[in-house]
Each structure stands twice: as C-alpha cells, then as structure tokens.
Amino acid sequence: MKIQSLFFTLYGDYIKDAGGTISSKSLIIILKEFGFSEGAIRAGLHRMKKAGLIVSERGKDKKIRYKLSEKGLLRLLEGTRRVYEKTRRRWDGKWRIVVYNIPENNREVRDRLRRELKWLGFGMLAQSTWISPNPIEDTLRKFINDLYNSTNSVKVDIFVADYLDQPNHLVERCWNLVEVEQAYKSFLEEWSPMLKKVNSMKSNEAFVTRIELVHEYRKFLNIDPDLPEDLLPQNWIGYKAYDLFMKLREELTPKANEFFYKVYEP
C-alpha cells in the first residue's frame, strides 16, 4: 500500500466528514499503524503536494494541516461514488465515446488521459477511441478540463451515440470481464473469513483492517468498468463482493471509529 492510496482512502472514509483537514501529528500517528516510518510518510506527502493532490496550511497555532486539493477532491468524490453507490441499474442504451488526438511527442499526456479513462470505467475500442455505457459526461468533462489546463496540444471530443449491433459485442471487445470476475472471487476468499474475527479485534486493529478493506475494494475501480446490469453476465459475482464489503465495513466501524477519533486532530 502506498502513502498516496492510503491517504485517499483515509480522507474519503474519515477526514472528509470529520472536518476536511488533519494535523501533521495525527496523520503521522495514523499512518505509522500501517508500518510506515515518519520519514517515508513525509516523503509521500511531499510527492502528493508536488503532484497537486494535497495542500498544506499552517494555522495560528503553528500546526501544519493537510487537505485534498480541488484536483484531488474531484478524484476522491468520483471514486467514493463508484465504491459506495454501486447499484443494479438499468442501461439507457447510449454509449459515451471519447476520441482524442495527441501528438506522439506528448506521450506523457496521452498515457495520463488513458489512465484517467480506464479509471472512469471506459474501455478502449480503437487506438484513440474509448467508450462507456455509463452517464458520466459531467465528470468526464471535469477531468478533460483539468487536462486542458496542463497542456494546449490536446484535442478531445466526446460523443453520445447508439450502436446498431448487439451491445455484448462491444463489451467483449473492450473489457475482460473474466479477469474482473476472478479478482472478485479472490476478494471473497480473502475477506469472508474476516467476519468471524471482528469481535476479538482491538480498536487499532479494527481501524487498520477497515482501511485495508476499503483500500483493497477501491482497486476494483481500476479494473471493473461498473457496467449496467443489462450488460453483465447473469449472477454477476461483483454484487456478492459488494455485499460482503459493505457488511464487513459496517461491523468494523464501531471499533475503528473509536481509534480514529482518539488520535484525530483537525
């Protein structure tokens, strides 16, 4: 687990609702529970500041506090929505299509755009064409605008369109659902036994387990396109994994909260 991923999980699950900031002292205490040294923590936070994901501020009490930047918050909110608002929704029959033209000498920007599209659940239909059946145009525009702010050598077009053949043909071409299904099976095998261990955990152990659980589940944002139920195989195992995730998270919460609010300082 990296400092950046851990900070996003911690912010989304606790800091955001506890006040939006966290003192350097509290952050170091908490992250040390995951085996990081103080030096590694400070280095990781420095990298996040340099990437524009977090900002720090020094209050009148001279204490340094951290919070997510606007850029970091956009990524967090979209990720949180996809993690906690997973529903068996129907498809509206439309495809969102992204077509881009990025010069070869700007490969870094092109790779960044591809990573963002994949994270948003898009699948690659052709070399510079990505598609999604999900109505996320507004979120997509925000990510594209952020890209435009960093370079002027990019052209990205967004379309909403129909497909005149069977939709499962596109699904098979753009996403490897067999791989996603196997990842969900592994998640269920690893985390199902944890339900029997919650009662015997100390508060700090429950906190670490809860954060690690959320962290592991958030990884599915990188591989699961979160397709509407109409486009998924029958008895999709992802729903079972989600139910386990929510149940285990709920059972860990009381003890985990006890630890967090004992050490948290806004």
Task: Please indicate whether residue 187 or residue 73 has the higher confidence score (pLDDT).
Answer: 187
Kindly report, residue by residue over 169-183, the tens digit of the pLDDT: 999 999 999 999 999
Among 3.60.10.10, 1.10.10.10, 3.30.2310.20, 1.20.1250.20, name the CATH number for the domain at 3-73: 1.10.10.10
Shared fold status for 3-73 and 95-161: no
Q: Determine the Cα–Cα distance for residues 101 and 104; give it in Å rounded to an integer.
A: 9
Matching residue, tokens 């699950």: 13
pLDDT range class, residue 257, cuts 50, 70, 90: very high
| Cα 22 to Cα 13: distance, rounded to the nearest angstrom | 13
Does the pLDDT of residue 62 top 90, yes or no? no
Instruction: pLDDT band for 147, please (50, 70, 90 cuts).
Output: confident
pLDDT value at position 151?
67
**What residues have CB less than 8 Å from 195, skipping those under 6 apart?**
247, 248, 251
CA–CA separation, 265 and 65 (whole Å): 9
Q: Give yes or no for residue 163 having a pLDDT over 70.
A: yes
pLDDT for 89-144, tens place per residue?
Answer: 899 999 999 999 887 778 888 888 999 899 899 999 998 999 999 999 988 888 88
What single DSSP character describes residue 133? S
What does pTM read for this prediction?
0.86
Residue 10 — pLDDT band, cuts 50, 70, 90?
very high
Give residue 13's pLDDT band: very low, low, confident or very high (50, 70, 90): very high
* Cα separation, 17 vs 19, whole angstroms: 6
Kindly list the domain boundaries of the chain, sorted by start residue.
3-73, 95-161, 176-263
Cβ proximity of 159 and 99 under 8 Å: yes
Architecture field, domain 95-161: 2-Layer Sandwich (3.30)
List, in sequence order, every residue forming a beta bridge with 64; answer none if it has no partner. 58
- Please determine, for residue 51, whether its predicted confidence score (pLDDT) is greater than 80: yes
How large is the average pLDDT for residues 59-66? 87
Is the pLDDT at 81 greater than 90? The verdict is: no
Average pLDDT over the chain, rounded to an integer: 92
Of all helices (H) and strands (E), which one includes residue 242? helix 237-263
